[in-house]
Chain A
């Protein structure tokens, strides 16, 4: 399988994603510039974290209009696996590929620390290799991570298992003190109706090696690799 990692002007986690995929997980990775219109041939695409276009207008808003998003849309449509991490998540919501929006944190501060998230569904390629209720420790680093969605859409997300990750405490309980940014329903990550497009605020690429203090993030990438290979074998 072939991965693509997109670089927008202002992306700053693209190299980290390439490193984890290429050097840690021995995957075939292509670096994709934001001006590329086609992502043909890629099985999985990562929109990395950072501050694309300086977060002008709204975080992710200008990146959502970049030429590469034509390719991302096409890839999502043909069933390729798309992951938006942090700013990448913001870009996917601005592009309308994921529901909801990400607002400035409740306390209007940039938060950079480890959080616990609970896996809420295994229907996405990123969580197929995990179990519902699994706890992952991953770092967050954002100022605009307060997930918001209208009440009726949220009910739909919950009913259709589109909530992928929720902020919890170390014992797996969704208590208010474990919600770092005030996200509705303590939602840390969601997927589209088909389950192939996933966005999350925590950074799995920053916790994929024991040197980094946690290898929990690695499980997401490994899960995708296994699920794509299974799908390929079934074709």
Chain B
């Protein structure tokens, strides 16, 4: 199997109301914060259908399609994908 890690964030310029509320909270606690942008993080485990690096590449391509069709709203969000062999909790090679 392979694990795909997906990070979805709002496009620049899209008003992030939760981000603004969180920034306000951080400021209330005394932190100097310019801006907070809230996103979503997903770990998706897919079956292995190829070997080695090809697993990660195939999983990345499929995850990209998942984002475009369902996981993200392309009108307002962008996404980054990292695919790793193994199950959830796999660490990227350092």
Residues of A within 8 A of B (CB): 57-58, 61, 65, 94, 100-101, 103-108, 148-150, 182
Q: Which B residues, 61 to 94, have Cβ-Cβ distances below 8 Å to chain A?
A: 70-71, 73, 75-76
- The A contact surface, by secondary structure, is loop
**Closest B-chain residue to A94, C-beta based?**
B73
Q: How many residues of B contact A (CB 8 A)?
A: 12
How many Å lie between the Cα of A61 and that of B17 in the bound state?
19
Interchain Cβ contacts under 8 Å between A and B, 6 examples: A101-B76, A103-B14, A148-B14, A148-B76, A149-B75, A150-B75
| Given A61-B70, A65-B70, A104-B75 contact (CB < 8 Å) | no
- Tell me, yes or no, whether B9 is within 8 Å of chain A by CB: no
Asked whether, in the complex, the Cβ of A101 is within 8 Å of the Cβ of B20, the reply is no
Counting chain B CB atoms within 10 Å of each CB, which of A61, A101, A108 scores highest? A108
Question: Shortest Cβ distance from B39 into chain A, in angstroms?
Answer: 13
State the Cβ distance, B40 to closest chain A Cβ, in Å: 8
**Closest chain A CB from B80 CB (angstroms):** 17
Taken together as a complex, chains A and B put the C-alpha atoms of A27 and B18 apart, in Å, by 42
12 new A-B contacts, CB < 8 A, other than A101-B73, A104-B17, are A61-B73, A65-B70, A94-B73, A103-B17, A104-B18, A107-B17, A108-B17, A108-B20, A148-B75, A148-B76, A149-B75, A182-B15
Q: How far apart are A230's CB and chain B's nearest CB, in angstroms? A: 36
A207 vs chain B, min Cβ distance (A):
27
- Nearest B residue to A65 via CB reads B70
Q: Which residues of the partner chain A approach B18 to less than 8 Å between Cβ atoms?
A: 104, 108
Contact partners of A182 in chain B: CB under 8 A: 15
- The docked-state distance in angstroms from the alpha carbon of A107 to that of B21 is 9
A105 B17 Cβ-Cβ under 8 A: yes
Query: Which chain A residue has the least Cβ–Cβ distance from B69?
Result: A65
When the two chains form their complex, are residues B76 and A103 in contact, meaning their CB atoms are under 8 A apart? yes
B17 touches A101 (CB 8 A): no
B38 CB to nearest chain A CB (Å): 10
- Nearest A residue to B74 via CB reads A101
List the A side residues contacting B71 at CB < 8 Å.
Answer: 57
Complex: A149 Cα to B15 Cα, angstroms: 13
- In the bound complex, what is the Cα–Cα distance between A107 and B16 (angstroms)? 10
With A and B bound together, what is the CA distance between A101 and B76 in angstroms?
9
- Which single residue of chain A is at the shortest CB-CB distance from B24? A108
Distance of A150 Cα from B13 Cα, bound (Å) = 12
- Which residues of chain A have C-beta atoms less than 8 A from B70's C-beta? 57, 61, 65
A79: shortest Cβ distance to chain B, in Å? Answer: 26
Which chain B residues border A57 with CB–CB below 8 Å? 40, 70-71
- Name B77's closest neighbour in chain A (CB-CB): A58
**CA distance in complex: A182, B20 (Å):** 15
